[in-house]
Amino acid sequence: MAGRPTPAAARDNSRAVHSRSLVRSLHPGAWWLWSLGLAAAASRTTEPLLLLLILAVAGFVVAARRSDAPWSRSYGAFLRLGLAVLAARVVFAIVLGSPVGGTHVLLTLPQLPLPDWAQGVRLGGAVTLEGVLFALYEGLRLAVLLACVGAANALASPSRLLRSLPGALYEAGVAAVVAMTFAPNLVADVRRLRAARRLRGRSDRGVRAVLSVGLPVLEGALERSVALAAAMDTRGFGRTADVPRAVLRTGGALTLLGLLGVGCGTFGLLSQGSHPWALPVLLAGAGASAAGLALGGRRSVRTRYRPDPWALPEWLTAASGVLVAAALIGYASRYPEALTPSVVPPTAPRLPLLPAAAVLLGLLPAFVTPEPPRSTR
């Protein structure tokens, strides 16, 4: 292995990554863009058939392109979470009533009389078909959003995404990832200690069992975090290059100003009325933040081992997500009622053809991306 690859070899390499037959994992950023695109599309509609189609598209791509790493199994967990959200939404609509009125009464629950100050809150009472349908559609939309995030999680682990962050944000990113691994470890600890309660002759069921292990679990988690911090320190985490203070200050100021600009610009774009200043402010803010991050990044001495390339499959994947989002956002702003089925009065769900065809674009990654490497186990 030569220290300096010959130009010809380098060119071959750069060509090979464009091919979909070279087994490699896709850039995590591409997967996140694609799934956020699908999520953005889902957020624009409550049409149940269209939402289910988005869910199917995401599920198909996950099934086709996830690796056999442990985090790839998280898709199922996100689906279950989505179902739980959907169920909760419907139950709340039944018990607390629904903001949409309706005439098709399904059943009438005994209504709890509430004092005057709780005006506007209702417990029990008539349950209408319209209310339940409305809650069902809203819940389904949330569930599909969750499934899209789950798809991104299963296809690209968040810590791989972290590797692509700019140097200035790296340390903040590590903190976030450590916090994320904290949760699964905590769950494992609670399970182990609840089992240990059985060994002490106490019941391992019920809320008390979970509460009583709280302190030992926290102690254990803290010890683990401290051990990890020590290990990271001895491995050179947080080494910095000597950079003049003035440069660092400028970088910080630029980032802050830039973020302010981005905030104002976004507000201007999204709020009512037309604000011609919004777009230039947004762009200037984004530019300033980028410059600030670049200056701050000079402090970091980190290099990257085998950075994920961004080649043709990544472009296509990201584009398919963005296209789906753009198509549905555009369609929704032109025909607002076409993507939100009427519940008062209830109508049969339809599948608008044009948006459905656009959603199918989201299937593209399943065919244009390379197979992920699978470890032999």
Partner 1 sequence: MITFEQVSVHYADAAEPALRGVDLTVPEGELCLLVGPSGAGKSTLLGTVCGLVPHFTGGTLTGRVTVGGRDTRDHRPRDLADLVGTVGQDPAGHFVTDTVEEELAYGMESLGLAPAVMRRRVEETLDLLGLADLRGRALSTLSGGQRQRVAIGSVLTVHPKVLVLDEPTSALDPGAAEEVLAVLQRLVHDLGTTVLLSEHRLERVIQYADQVLLIPGPGEPPVLGDPATLMARSPVRPPVVDLGRLAGWSPLPLTIRDARRQAPTLHHRLRPDTPSTPSRPAAAGTPTGQLPPAAPDKPSLLRRRKPLPKTPPPPAAGEPVAAAPDKPSLLRRRRPLPKTPPPPAAGEPVALAARLVVSRGPVAALRGVELALFPGEITALMGRNGAGKSTLLGALVGLHAPTSGTVRIAGLTPHKSRPRELIRTVGLVPQDPRDLLYAESVAEECAAADADAGAEPGTCRALLAGLLPGIADGTHPRDLSEGQRLTLALAVVLTARPPVLLLDEPTRGLDYAAKARLVTTLRALATEGHAVLLATHDVELAAELADRTAVLAEGEIVADGPTAEVVLASPTFAPQTAKILPPYLTVAEVAAALEPPR
* Binding positions for partner 1, rule: CB under 8 A: 1, 3-5, 69-71, 157, 159-160, 163, 174, 192-193, 195-204, 212-213, 215-216, 219-220, 224, 227-239, 301-307, 373, 375-377
State the burial class of residue 273 (Cβ atoms within 10 Å of its Cβ: 0-12, 13-18, 19+). Answer: exposed
Cβ-based nearer residue to partner 1, 191 or 275? 191
Distance CA 95, CA 210 (A): 29
Distance CA 373, CA 377 (A): 12
Cβ-based nearer residue to partner 1, 238 or 336? 238
Q: What are phi and psi of 333, to 5 degrees?
A: -75, -25
Task: In the chain, count H helices and then E strands.
Answer: 14, 2
Least distance (Å) between residue 309 CB and partner 1:
12
Amino acid letter for position 153: N
Cβ-based nearer residue to partner 1, 8 or 107? 8
Closest CA to 300 of 234, 222, 243: 243
Cβ-based nearer residue to partner 1, 124 or 158? 158
State the burial class of residue 95 (Cβ atoms within 10 Å of its Cβ: 0-12, 13-18, 19+). Answer: middle
Least distance (Å) between residue 304 CB and partner 1:
6
Least distance (Å) between residue 242 CB and partner 1:
13
Least distance (Å) between residue 191 CB and partner 1:
10
- Under 8 Å CB-to-CB from 168, ≥6 apart: which residues? 251, 255, 292, 293, 294, 295, 296, 297, 299, 300
Least distance (Å) between residue 239 CB and partner 1:
5
Cβ-based nearer residue to partner 1, 2 or 107? 2
